[in-house]
Amino acid sequence: MIIWNIWCTSNKLVFEGTQSTITSVVASIFSQFHISHCAFRSLKSPSSAQTSREVCWQHDDKYTLALNVDGSALTNPSQACYGGIVRNSDEKFQFGFYGSAGLSNIIHAEIQTLLT
């Protein structure tokens, strides 16, 4: 939630020219934590056993690569961008890319990411 709020604040500044205060960003983060806590607390039943597990990328050999991509557009249509990174089996950065999808929508930005 912290990273999400920083990302949204950055996008508002870049695309809308709106500058947020630290106080408003922190208030938004705490509000989202509270809402999430309440939502997940209501999902738990007293009789269910809670188990946790780590979710991570599983790979079989040293020649495997992972590609993570994302596209972004604040409204539809608006200035849209995309980017991605490739990591090796040791999760080390190999290369990255980014670009502009022009005046477009989020679906086009996501597809442009895959085509790049």
Average pLDDT of the residues in 6-13: 86
Could you read off the pLDDT of 74-99 as tens digits, one per residue? 777 788 888 888 888 888 889 998 88
CATH class of 59-116: alpha beta
Residue closest to 112 by CA, chosen among 74, 80, 76: 80
* Dihedral, 39, 43, 45, 49 alpha carbons, nearest 10: -110
CB 98 within 8 A of CB 82: yes
* Dihedral, 102, 107, 113, 115 alpha carbons, nearest 10: -100
Query: What are the domain boundaries of the chain?
Result: 1-50, 59-116
DSSP state for residue 105 in the 8-state scheme: -
Q: Where are the beta strands (DSSP E) in the chain?
A: 66-73, 78-87, 93-104
Phi, psi of 90 (to 5 degrees): -90, 10
Of the ranges 40-44, 55-59, 90-94, which one carries the lowest mean pLDDT score?
40-44
Average per-residue pLDDT in the chain? 79
Note the helical H segments in 12-58: 22-43
Q: Hey, which residues does 97 pair with through a beta bridge? A: 84
Residue closest to 71 by CA, chosen among 32, 113, 35: 113
